[in-house]
Structure 1
């Protein structure tokens, strides 16, 4: 659902953006649009029209059709190149046969030489001088013929090898060229499918009816209990999150949001990936990984002035360095004609190196309530409303401001969260009810 994803992204982006960007102040945010807002506005201006997307889809279709035709032609060329009737293949076969004939001629010449030498050796002592001269000449002639046959065979073998190599190279080249054509066709198909999808999405968006404005209310409260103020790397910590409905009506869907942000002692190296969060409820007791950024299940529904609890389990990588962290806790809700949530509350904690000993650790304390949000006083009555175990996306609401955190390196992050959160407020003013699930 676009609203919740936008809100969660606003908080997470605020705490993970480089320090230089995070140094923006709320006063500056009031004076001029944030970088995220300007980028969003620029994206809207650059968004292509349906007609432009149709033209792009037509061009992509033509390019694909041309690629298919080129593939057909290239396949014919490849088949011809691989055929035994290919000119180089024919030349290689001819040279091979000539080499075979030369080898036979060489064998015959060698045999003739052997026979002549044997005849000379077999002459009796009574042979005449003429007979000896004739036998010696036969050996000399056979030797000459054998040498000539050997040279002819060597030349034929070399010719055959060269012809065979040329034919093989031609086949390899033909396969490579066809592979290029195939890859071009695959890329053209990808481009066509992307263009078709972009057009279909734009046409569907164009035909969707306008939904009424969402009346934003900030009457939700999220409170964490049991989160220690000191957490040791490599440990597992169980705590809970209570979401309270501060409105006078039942909320159709409520989405808890929990996000852990930390740096090492330098305050610059972000180590958020060392934190792994799971959630569980009475209705859905099996522990589930928080797959989406900040998602901690969904509550559907939550009655007026009632609350529901979510059990949470935090696992920290043993290799995580010592540092300082904040747990951002918030919630959003969606109704037919209203939506809302609470600005994230910061819970500061110290991250200790693996193996550190801790005794009598106090719970992490929440920062000040953000202006315009419920305070931390108890609200309403107890609710047994179950938390959904479905795939609803739970995200945060807006960014936190003003918390008197003991972590100076997070002060800039809180300021940037205000800027990005202000953008998120305008994002929730308008929503599509059909995309809320």
Structure 2
């Protein structure tokens, strides 16, 4: 008995579940578009986004141009040091050449002494050679030091150029991203304004149509009354006194206009309700789940009856 009651309860729940799910479907269909409408940005927010995007683009453009001109003009901290080291190296090379020539001249003078030269003349020539050798050695050392300083300055300048080149590549990439963001923000703002303008035009057209239909209906009624009165006066017949009750023609004449107005308003209401509720996208899934629940309930009922028949046999 307990198993039978449990199976019957499961069957009832399976049959009732689709009705509950289908009744909840409209609420789900109405809730989703409302949340989407709330998350949609306003025109003021889009205008602020455009202003921020333009500001970011201007900053990125200024940074990229500054880096480009710095690299093109070779405007780096090591540039003055390179110029000074280069001038010092040139001066050291000139001094070395002078010292080397002086040494060569001293040695030539010593070698050119005649055999009849006195010891004093020989000593003076030897002393000149020794002094020239010392000066040449010092000039060579200074020249080597100047060359090393110049190479170090050029190396520092080359490292700064490489770093600036890499920085410029990154700034150029940032500039492209900023431009893309600015274009996207401007497009979003333009689309929002176009959508708002088209919505206003539709509302204006609907209101104009209703006003024109009302005016046309009133004008036609007045024209028909005046025409009837004119015809009676032409025949010499007295015109009937105005009655408070509407005539049959007036009643029948107003019915189509009311029906037309009702159909127009019905179409407007239908369009408004469709725009507010949106698409009931979860309905197919809920229907499938309901069908599965019905199948499960039917199987359960069949199993209960089969078990009852077996127990009776």
**Which category describes the TM-score, using the shorter chain as reference length?**
0.3 to 0.5
The higher radius of gyration belongs to 2
- Which structure is higher in strand share? 1
Which is helix-richer, 1 or 2? 2
TM-score, normalised relative to structure 1: 0.35
Higher relative contact order (CA 8 A, sep 6+): 2
